[in-house]
Amino acid sequence: MASRVNNILSILGFIGLVSALHIISINQYTYPMGDHDYYMPMLKNLIDPSFFPHDYLHDQLPQYPSVLWPLMAGIIQLTGAEIPTIFFILYTSSIFSTYAVTYLLAMSLFANRQVAFLSVFFLLFTQLHFADVSLLENGLVFRTLALPFILFGFYAFFEKRFVLAYVLTAIGLVIHPLSGIFSIAMMGLASLFLLKFINKRDLVLSIILFGVISSPIFIIKFTAAGPSMPLVATSEWLDIMRLRSSHHVFPFTWSRIDFFNAGCALLVLLISLKHGPKDFFQYRATQLFIVAILFMMGIGVIFTEIVPISFVIQLQFLRSMVMIFYFIPLLFANYYVKEIQQPTIITDDLQLILLSVFVFNVFSSSSFILVVLSFMSFVAITLIPRVYGTLPHIQISIPIYHWLIRHMFLLMLIGVIIVIGILNYIRLDPLTISNQDDPKWVDVQSWARQHTSVGAIFIIPPHLNGFRVDSERSVYVTWKDGTVAFFNESLGFEWLERLKLLGYEPTRSGGTLDYLEFGEVADVFGPIYRNLNEEKIDRIAQVAESCEVYFVTFSDVPELELPLSYKNNDYVIYAVLGKQVGCSED
């Protein structure tokens, strides 16, 4: 009994250490993230309907259905806690749960503690992106919160607890529908081909419960107000999608590095399957999960680039590739442990070390120091136990010595994690759960919240994010807002027209609008925004839906003939007269 408790404590301690270093250093927590710019109008409007009355995003909640919206709003209203606190608690819980279920999954598939610990280790450093999403983001997004439920669903499926698996996947879906759809496709295909392992009563019950639990999301989505999307995507909507969101759905516009990463992932996957799960059901289910992902990716290519279908573009099937990124740490950890346990020669060990270093660095944010550290680490992890096994056994009665020998593998992993965590932390700012944006930009938001009414609209540089987070004020337009066009065609058209009114003219080649990469956004919009004069600003104010309009610009821009409201070292705020019918000039 005592030994079992100690094992549980060691597991929880390791997962706690990994989670802490993930949040503090290795994938340091960030608030706010880009997505939070359109989360806030939706969330805060639920908490207080008076917020963001003139923001063109505030009524988009039905387009982003999730149980988290009312859940987070209810928690904030009941507890009075600040949004940054709630976000951090949810993120921390999600990260810990993700690493915990990774350990459980590895134990279920491979029944080996070394594999389980090493799976968590590899997952910590897996930072590959595909379709511009990663498996574990460094801030709170809904897919990060859905992930533990989905992974616990996979764990239940591998353990043949099918009803629980479908229920947990449904919960993941109502948190983040896209992740849930990817996961139920994987589980559904595996169930179809492994029917002989599933009790018919359990299968029927699983389908019913999945349908009941997930139904509110589909009801909200399909009954949402607004024009419906045609089956075949219109050229106008495709233009906006290609301009703003090619990085998510149009692979023919992606760089070679994206395909290199995918190729490396599939290569490592194939190598790792040499030592797959021994249980036939688990091995076949793993294969079918991978087949489902590859099938979704194929659909994602054909029905976006070749025959553009609206709902396929909206489902963003290419994002499902990140689930392969999840299984690789588990499968490669098992491959690694199986290889080091076999009698071998030094050249085989060297090949394994180099392959491990390759996997570690290709899947992480690599640097020269990390390459050297990972090489030294895998040399130690691979060779020290092997060398120790060849030495004559010495009778030593010191208990701590035997404890160290028994836990040698785990202690070496912990040492590597701590060293990399410390080295990473040295070059970072200290962790904070509050707004981490540029302090001068946060000051602008604070002034807006404290000195303007909730009905005010701010014209801000469209390449800057986060203004809505602390200001609690509506924004005329930002580049980030265009992501909402995925689910609302008419809003996409309005978004582009607002950008054009600022002076932006997208370029066109080959009959479609050219994709504007995130790295180019500031270079494009910076000069355009700095050249706005009083006449252009006044024209924008005329289409704003508020009698209280402010213009935010940079402090090094020549002074405008508008009433100055606020100024700091980096930014200036001018008051602009509203021009709508009924607005007073007093």
Give CA–CA dist 399/409, Å, rounded: 18
309 phi/psi in degrees, rounded to 5? -110, 130
In this structure, the strands spanning 512-513 and 508-509 are antiparallel
472 — phi, psi (to 5°)? Answer: 60, 35
pLDDT for 365 = 63
Decide: 403 and 397 in contact? Cβ < 8 Å: no
Task: Classify residue 281 by burial, with Cβ atoms within 10 Å: 0-12, 13-18, 19+.
Answer: middle
Nearest Cα to Cα of residue 297 among 261, 323, 326, 260? 323
pTM for this model (two decimals): 0.92
- CA distances to 253, 303, 313, 566 from 246, rounded to whole Å, are 7, 14, 10, 38
Q: 511: left (phi > 0), else alpha (psi -120 to 50), else beta? A: left
Alpha helices in 302-320 (DSSP H): 310-315
The per-residue b/e assignment along 543-571, b for 16 or more CB within 10 angstroms, e otherwise, is ebebbbbbbbbeeeeeebebeebbeeeeb
The domain ranges of the chain are 65-342, 439-577
CA 329, 331, 334 angle in degrees (round to 5)? 105
E strands, 126-253, where?
129-130, 133-134
Convert the pLDDT of each residue in 273-293 to its tens digit.
989 999 999 999 999 999 999
Task: Tell me which residues of the chain have a pLDDT lower than 70.
Answer: 1-2, 225-227, 343-350, 361-371, 384-406, 577-586
DSSP-assigned letter for residue 485 = G
Q: What's the rounded Cα separation, in Å, for the pair 500 and 518?
A: 18
For residue 109, what are the contacts with CB-CB under 8 A and spacing of at least 6?
158, 277, 279, 282, 286, 330, 334
Amino acid at 558: P
* Token digits of residue 448: 């807006």
Residue count of the chain:
586
Identify the residue whose tokens are 């639990």: 213
Find, among 163, 396, 130, the residue nearest to 247 by Cα.
130
DSSP state of 309: B
- How far apart (Å, rounded) are the C-alpha atoms in residues 471 and 445? 4
DSSP string, 108-170: HHH--HHHHHHHHHHHHT---EETTEESS-SS--HHHHHHHHHHHHHHHHHTT-HHHHHHHHH
pLDDT value of position 334: 94
Alpha-carbon gap, residue 140 to 98, rounded angstroms? 14
Which position has the token pair 């469209």? 462
* Cβ proximity of 175 and 94 under 8 Å: no
Tokens describing residue 403 = 């404890």
Q: How high is the pLDDT of residue 351? A: 74
C-alpha to C-alpha distance for 517 and 540, rounded to whole angstroms: 25
